[in-house]
Structure 1
Amino acid sequence: MIEVYTDGASSGNPGKSGAGVYIKAHGKIYEYSIPLGELSNHEAEFQAVLKALEICLEQFPDEILSFRSDSQIVTSVLENDYTKNSKFLPFLEKIREVTSAFPYFFIKWIPEKQNHHADRLARAALHKKHTGKEG
């Protein structure tokens, strides 16, 4: 099982955004700090999950994924597989599509203090240049 911690950060709402992805897999740690461009904080949180899923598709196909996020909105939408918010629906649909490639996908809400690795990576992404290739 692959443990994945995600976090999104925005400087302004919306504003310059970044995603942090911290992965524990097979006794190793993988860290990603990804600039996202201009997004709201919630959009950055969803994008962080999507970026993590893309990484897992490439590096850990066919693995069981256990995600953790400190975003109650993201975890609620994904656990319930439902949202009324039209801005979040495209994220839900894309995440639903990507997770179907894995045998199991779980997501769990965790307190911010337990997500400090992903938070640090997301904040670092705010200082990187967005190339348009990510996000």
Structure 2
Amino acid sequence: MISYKKTIHIYTDGSSKGNPGPGGYAIFIEIVGTPYKKIISEGFRYTTNNRMELLAVIVGLEKITKKKQNIIVFTDSKYIVNPIQNNWISKWKKNNFYKKKNVDLWIRFLEIFDKHFIIFQWIKSHKNHYFNDFCDRLSGKASKNKNLKIDYVYEKEQQNLKKS
């Protein structure tokens, strides 16, 4: 279905120092053809790069409150692009995410995915793409904040792994 609304671009990146370790994500949102721009970033004390990459996409999409928008998500994460473009995510869901990581985030992603018309565009990282490089720097900076958030799900999973 084609919609003739304005297009929204969401640029995202996530990082983790140590992987796992302190991490962060960054998002740049723009409505093409308008002056609207929004920048979001957050840091977490102990997480992974893939969690931050996926959380950036989720938070970016959650910020679009009006339904059925035309959105292009730009990410350098094949961890995100491949499951969507190859429809692996549907198979994962049917199998109740058996042996998959970051299930909490993939479920959260699916809750918002069908609310819009979304195209995912993979971009090669560190290749002078202005917004990707901006999000990369900002996500790294977010991971160094003094008051980092807690990725409760990940930290609990890691505690459970240590106990078993």
Q: If the length of structure 1 is used for normalisation, what is the TM-score?
A: 0.83
Is the radius of gyration larger for structure 1 or structure 2? Answer: 2
- Cα 1:45–1:31 shift into 2, 3 Å: same
Correspondence for 1:72: 78
Q: Secondary structure at the match of 2:63?
A: helix
- Displacement, 1:29? 2.1
Superposition pairs for residues 37-116 of structure 1, below 5 Å?
37-57=45-65, 60-82=66-88, 86-102=100-116, 104-112=117-125, 113=127, 114=129, 115-116=132-133
- Cα 1:81–1:38 shift into 2, 3 Å: farther
Specify which of 138, 141, 146 is matched with residue 121 of structure 1.
138
Structure 1 window deviating more from structure 2 (47-56 vs 13-22): it is 47-56
Q: Deviations over 1:78-132 (max 9, x none)?
A: 2223156610444333212212222x01111001132112112211211222244
Between Structure 1 and Structure 2, the one with more strand by share is: 1
- Unmatched segments (≥5 aa) in structure 2: 1-6, 93-98, 154-164
Correspondence for 2:162: none
Separation of aligned partners in 1, 2:110 and 2:15: 22
Q: Secondary structure at the match of 1:6?
A: strand
Q: Secondary structure at the match of 1:56?
A: coil
CA contact (8 A) 1:19 1:35 kept: yes
Q: How many percent identity over aligned positions?
A: 24
Aligned residue pair count: 132
Structural RMSD (CA): 2.4
| Equivalent residue letter for 1:50 | I
Separation of aligned partners in 2, 1:120 and 1:22: 12
| Equivalent residue letter for 1:120 | R
Q: Deviations over 1:20-62 (max 9, x none)?
A: 10111133321111123421111111111111112223xx544
- Unmatched segments (≥5 aa) in structure 1: none
| Equivalent residue letter for 2:110 | R
CA contact (8 A) 1:72 1:109 kept: yes
Correspondence for 1:2: 8
Q: If the length of structure 2 is used for normalisation, what is the TM-score?
A: 0.70
